[in-house]
């Protein structure tokens, strides 16, 4: 009889630990993000879309990384506080599901963006995004047209130089010919 009771206690313990484990799984932080690699042009906006779930109210923290640079963008806890770094305050929009919008992109914004979610138990999880920022196309066109103009100017200059050289050459040839002519042909020198 006592033997069976003991087994009952063990069963309960196993059941409890399984329940706790399932609760822990259910309570684990999850970060869902549809797209982790984004490409935008200068002056465009980007939206890092995530949907987080965890136990209680999360603390969301976004960090920018590029090479050796690591910069805090902002930290917020929905309903409690929002702290966006001064450099970003005018360009960042924050959302309760963890998403972040960054507007008016510049070339140095290209890099790695990490969102770190910390739940009330103190455990945390993060996810990274890669952002590529391209130069605006019209800047390329401007560059091309300036190059074309410079080339055209150079070609014009070359043509002018060749024309002048040709003129000088002809003049020298005529002068030499006249020099070699006999003295009695002096009348022909008149147009000089
Ligand atoms: C997060 O919320 C924003 C704004 O409500 C929404 O546009 C975006 O789609 C959400 N992201 C996900 C992954 O659900
Ligand atoms: C806001 O964030 C900055 C940079 O991470 C930090 O230095 C500052 O102490 C924070 N302020 C508050 C009120 O949390």
- Mean of pLDDT over the chain: 86
* pLDDT at position 184: 56
Ligand 2 geometric centre to CA of 83 (Å): 6
Ligand nearest the Cα atom of residue 84: 2
Compute, in degrees rounded to 10, the torsion defined by CA atoms 154, 160, 165, 166: 130
**141 band by pLDDT with thresholds 50, 70 and 90:** confident
Nearest to 52 by CA among 110, 132, 134, 124: 124
DSSP string, 77-138: ETTTEEEE-TTTTTTEEE-TTEEEEE-S--GGG-EEEEEEEE-TTS-EEEEEEEEEEEPPHH
Cα-to-chain-centroid distance, residue 52? 24
8 A C-beta contact, residue 130 and residue 46? no
Q: How far is CA 33 from CA 41, 55, 62, 136, in A?
A: 21, 19, 14, 27
DSSP H or E stretch at residue 153? helix 137-180
* pLDDT at position 192: 56
Is pLDDT of 136 > 60? yes
Which residues on neighbouring strands pair with residue 60, listed in sequence order? 76, 117
Count of CB atoms within 10 A of residue 109's CB?
19
8 A C-beta contact, residue 114 and residue 62? yes
Is pLDDT of 189 > 70? no
Is pLDDT of 65 > 60? yes
- Model pTM? 0.63
Q: What is the pLDDT averaged over residues 30-36?
A: 94
Residue nearest to atom 10 of ligand 2 (CA): 83
**21 band by pLDDT with thresholds 50, 70 and 90:** low
* pLDDT at position 70: 94
Nearest to 131 by CA among 52, 36, 33: 36
Question: Atom of ligand 1 at shortest distance to CA of 33?
Answer: 13
Is pLDDT of 14 > 70? no
Ligand 1 geometric centre to CA of 49 (Å): 6
**Which pair of tokens denotes residue 157?**
């200059």
Please tell me if the CB atom of residue 51 comes closer than 6 angstroms to any atom of ligand 1.
yes
% the chain with pLDDT above 70: 80
Is pLDDT of 158 > 90? yes
Ligand 2 geometric centre to CA of 84 (Å): 8
* Interval 42-56: pLDDT, tens: 999 999 999 999 989
Is pLDDT of 16 > 70? no
28-135 placed in CATH 2.60.40.10: yes
The position carrying tokens 């702290």 is 83
What are the boundaries of each domain within the chain? 28-135, 136-177
* pLDDT at position 101: 97
The values of phi and psi at residue 81, to 5°, are -155, 165
């Amino acid at each position: 009889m006592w033997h069976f009771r003991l087994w009952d206690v063990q069963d309960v313990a196993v059941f409890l630990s399984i329940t706790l484990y399932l609760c822990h799984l259910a309570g684990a932080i999850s970060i869902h993000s549809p797209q982790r690699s984004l490409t935008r042009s200068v002056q465009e906006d980007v939206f890092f879309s995530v949907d987080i779930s965890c136990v209680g109210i999360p603390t969301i923290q976004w960090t920018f990384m590029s090479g050796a640079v690591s910069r805090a963008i902002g930290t917020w806890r929905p309903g409690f506080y929002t702290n966006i770094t001064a450099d970003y305050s005018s360009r960042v929009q924050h959302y309760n599901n963890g998403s972040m919008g960054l507007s008016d992109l510049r070339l140095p914004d290209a890099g790695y963006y990490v969102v770190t979610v910390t739940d009330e138990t103190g455990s945390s999880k993060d996810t990274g995004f890669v952002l590529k920022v391209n130069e605006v196309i019209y800047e390329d066109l401007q560059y091309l047209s300036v190059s074309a103009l410079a080339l055209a100017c150079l070609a014009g200059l070359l043509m002018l130089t060749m024309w002048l050289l040709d003129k000088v050459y002809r003049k020298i040839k005529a002068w030499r010919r006249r020099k070699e002519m006999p003295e009695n042909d002096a009348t022909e020198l008149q147009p000089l």
